[in-house]
Amino acid sequence: MTKADYYETLGVSRNANEDEIKQAYRKMAMKHHPDRNAHDKASEEKFKQIKEAYEVLSDSRKRAAYDQFGHSADGASGGGFGDMNFSDIFGDVFGDIFGAMRNAGGPQRGADLRYQIEISLEDAVFGKTQEIAFSTWVACVDCKGSGAKKGSTLSTCVDCEGHGQIRLQRGFFSVQQTCPTCRGKGKVITEPCPGCHGQGRRKQNKTLSVKIPSGVDTGDRIRLGGEGEAGEAGSQPGDLYVEIHLKPHSIFERDGKDLYCDVPISYTLAALGGELDVPTLSGRVQLKVPPETQTGKAFRLRGMGVPSVRGGGKGDTICRISVETPVNLTAKQKEILKEFEATLSASNTKKHNPKATSWFDKVKKFFEDMKF
């Protein structure tokens, strides 16, 4: 018997691309699948033809040979019905159905909880233990999480007849899943626990001590396994995640392992140099300020920053200098400053104010080069 043209079998044109061929194949395969057409020999034969056509046209080498020689091409036709990859054909179509079935039924693990705490920079650097209190679901003490009244017996589940599994039909697919009534146990509660009404858990206030390691930062989370909500009917509890938030500090700014501190100094100290005490989280440190220090100069105090929560050395504390202009001057102080300014101008302004001189030279050139 003469074989039908592969392109006609799939209902596509001869210049169809791979996606068009694949879509046509899935549509035809779904229509003529044997599970949907039981005892229909014609559909079974059609399904084999569709599969054979797809195996050739989806392979660039086989397709080229078929386009040139037709059905006489050596090796143009592929294997038989038994080698078909059903997951490739139907995976996209039925993925959502199977996913829903896998998630149905079965003991549900307790929910995870999130608890936010705000700590000081000092606590983040040195670590601490802090108590937290919250309300959550805990295992019922009366029934020990089973949900059944103490001394009562369980009965066989009528839906799964004690097997814990039921079979569901989804179109032409038949799948087995955990029984949602007994959640796979095969038994159901006949007399619910009066304390938890058969849930196996109850609401309760809970207090925990949380060890905060040194080096934590805003956004870090501490996981406490099994300290989340208790699951129903004695199933596994969830976890508790303690999320860290740092309070703003009055002196320091944190950037990873480093701390930044703005240090204002007087006009005189900046010009003549000297020493001053600066703060670190480990105590006072004497900082030497060299003469002619400008605003923005940074001094790095190595190893006086924050330790890494994952191990490794400490960061640094960086002191950023800010030269403060005197305010609220008296008449005498103003007169002294004018006399001082006059001495600078009389000697060499460029020598005493190199940055200002350079900037004004650039401004002058800028205006000279402008085209009006």
Lowest mean pLDDT among 19-28, 53-62, 166-175, 359-368: 166-175
pLDDT at position 116 = 95
Homologous superfamily of 6-103: DnaJ domain (1.10.287.110)
pLDDT at position 187 = 84
Tell me which of 77 and 47 has the higher pLDDT.
Answer: 47
Rounded (to 5) percent helix, strand, coil in the chain:
35, 25, 40
Q: Which residues pair with 206 in a beta bridge?
A: 134
- C-alpha 174: how far from chain center: 37
The pLDDT of residue 107 is above 50: yes
pLDDT at position 95 = 42
pLDDT in tens, 221-262: 999 999 999 987 777 899 999 999 999 999 999 999 999 999
Tell me the pTM.
0.60
CATH of 252-324 among 3.40.50.300, 3.40.50.2000, 2.60.260.20, 1.10.10.10: 2.60.260.20
In angstroms, the CA 146 to CA 232 distance is 8
pLDDT at position 71 = 74
Tell me the average pLDDT across 349-371. Answer: 80
The pLDDT of residue 99 is above 70: no
pLDDT at position 100 = 42
Closest CA to 220 of 245, 240, 238, 256: 245
pLDDT at position 48 = 87
Lowest mean pLDDT among 85-94, 145-154, 240-249, 287-296: 85-94
Tell me which of 311 and 326 has the higher pLDDT.
Answer: 326
C-beta of residue 266 within 8 angstroms of C-beta of residue 275: no
Establish whether domains 6-103 and 252-324 are of one fold: no
pLDDT at position 86 = 42
Tell me which of 123 and 361 has the higher pLDDT.
Answer: 123
Taking the CB of residue 245, how many other CB atoms lie within 10 A of it?
13
Domain ranges of the chain: 6-103, 252-324, 335-369
Burial of 270 (0-12, 13-18, 19+ CB in 10 A): buried
pLDDT at position 348 = 67
In terms of DSSP bridges, do strands 165-170 and 173-178 run parallel, antiparallel, or are they unpaired?
antiparallel
Tell me the average pLDDT across 110-123. Answer: 94
pLDDT at position 323 = 94
Q: Which residues pair with 280 in a beta bridge?
A: 283
C-beta of residue 131 within 8 angstroms of C-beta of residue 209: yes
